Amino acid sequence: NFFGPALLTKAVVPHMLRAGGGHVVVISSVQGKFGIPHRSSYAASKHAVQGCFESLRAEHHKDGLRVLLVTPGYVATNLSRNAVTADGTPTGQLEKKGISPSACAEQVLAAMCEGQPELYVGGQKEWAALALQR
């Protein structure tokens, strides 16, 4: 969750800067803002993503490099189905309340085109949790 995006970005940013800038879009998670029970490793990795890419945005803001941090809540993917409990047992449950991946992608594209630095994607529960966390 952290090393893949970080290493890929490290490899491509010099080329982007030589070309005059560009967009980096990275997927974090609401759990990059706060953790929930039974997802400590996932939350830790997404906190690392948040910090790394917020710093990258600050470092290269004047260089034309735009960084969009996407902070989704539940998206209907296999992530929750493949998640494991503390003893390593897969949960096997799909998050039914999640938005569709295509709806998420549409919001990401719109945010990138608008030059937004961060995008929160999710339902009222995620928005409320983020508001309370601040």
Residue numbers annotated as active site? 42
3-state helix vs strand vs coil in the chain, percent to 5:
55, 15, 30
SS3 state of residue 84: strand
Tokens, residue 110: 């719109």
Contact 26, 69 (CB under 8 A): yes
Residues in the chain: 134
**If we measure between CA atoms, which residue out of 36, 103, 41 comes closest to residue 70?**
103
Tokens, residue 65: 């490099």
Tokens, residue 121: 């994607």
